[in-house]
Amino acid sequence: MMEEEKRKLSSEAMESISERLCMMDNLYFPRALLPIATNPSERKVVLLDLLSRDPAVFLERYGSKLTAEELQAFDMLKDDYEINWHLKHIQSVTSPTLEQLKSRSLVVKNRRWAYMNKLIREGEYFSEDAMREREPYLHHEYVGKFQDHIGRSMARPGERWSETLMRRAEEAMLVAKIRGEQRRLGVDEREWVGNERSNKEQEEEEEEEEEEEEEEEEEEEEEEKPDVEAKGVSCSSEVTLDDHIKARDDIPPASTEHVEAPALSAAEMQDQMDQFTYLMHQKFLSGEDQEHLDYSKIDEDETLDDHWMREANYDAEEKYFAED
């Protein structure tokens, strides 16, 4: 009888804890208890009942919500293995030691690695289109500037017109992001994504203007030819000089036009893509994808431990047999 009483929290502690927690919004309750936990007074009754019946389960559900002073009330129950485990776990999360921080960092790293491998197997998150959507400028620098930008806006076989329009709108947004980053970094405007076509058109216009000028010069020369012939042999040296001048003018000037990115072979393109993918993997592992993923769920997912522990055991076995 005395032993059973020692295993219970004091009534004052249970009253204080349940009184504070019952006022919290969005406090977790199992689905079966939701109908009888609709207001603070009903929630308090449920919490008091659980505290008195099973403090270990109470700690599992609500331990992270308790203050340090409230957790001290459970010290009298440390002889219970399950309660003691929960108290240590809560302490490692709320006030971790240096060793616990190192251990936690390793666990998080391994869980993210396991989850990344899962995403790679599924194929969507680390597909080229998905990675380009997340990091359009980085994709452009490693891969995009060697690809055909115009082709991305073309209609695809079997695609509805509404889908084509939607994809073009999305493409325009990505191009705007890339150009914004290029502007911020001070990239020459001729190098901006989407300017390739206008540069080409400008070059064609300049070529047409040069051809028109050459035609006009030839017409003027044809008109002056009879006068030169009438002057006879004395002007032969002038004609020769004109020929030299024309020959000199025909030499094309040094090119100052925009130099397009060289075309890459399939192997070179694959190498660029591999480098880009590697960077995206590192960004994921370092926690830079928080805009697209909930890292807290990944870092707390104990089911991911099975994956990296199997990998660790396999590596250990490989090393063992290799040493033999």
Instruction: Please give the pLDDT value at position 257.
Output: 47
Amino acid 171: pLDDT: 79
Query: From first to last of its 324 residues, what are the pLDDT tens digits of the chain?
Result: 444 444 678 999 999 999 999 999 889 999 999 999 999 999 999 999 999 999 999 999 999 999 999 999 999 999 999 999 999 989 888 888 888 889 889 999 999 999 999 999 999 999 999 999 999 999 998 998 888 777 677 777 888 888 778 878 887 888 888 888 888 888 888 878 777 655 455 555 666 666 667 777 776 666 665 554 555 444 444 444 455 445 445 544 444 444 455 678 999 999 999 999 999 999 999 999 999 999 999 998 989 988 666 665 555 556 545 665
Contact 99, 105 (CB under 8 A): no
Instruction: Please report, for residues 144, 151, 240, 309, the alpha-carbon distance to residue 133 in angstroms, rounded to integers and kept in the order given.
Output: 12, 17, 64, 33
Both structure tokens of 266: 């399939």
pTM above 0.95, yes or no: no
Cβ pair 58, 90 in contact under 8 A: no
* Residues 175, 194 contacting (CB under 8 angstroms): yes
Cβ atoms of residues 307 and 114 within 8 Å: yes
Only one residue has tokens 């929960």, namely 86
Q: What is the structure's pLDDT at 203?
A: 55
The pLDDT value given to residue 75: 92
User: To the nearest 10°, the Cα dihedral for 29, 30, 35, 37?
Assistant: -20
State the pLDDT at residue 50.
95
Q: Let me know: does 108 contact 38? Beta carbons within 8 Å.
A: no
Structure tokens at 182: 């290029």
CA pair distance 74, 62, nearest whole angstrom:
13
Tokens of 252: 């094309």
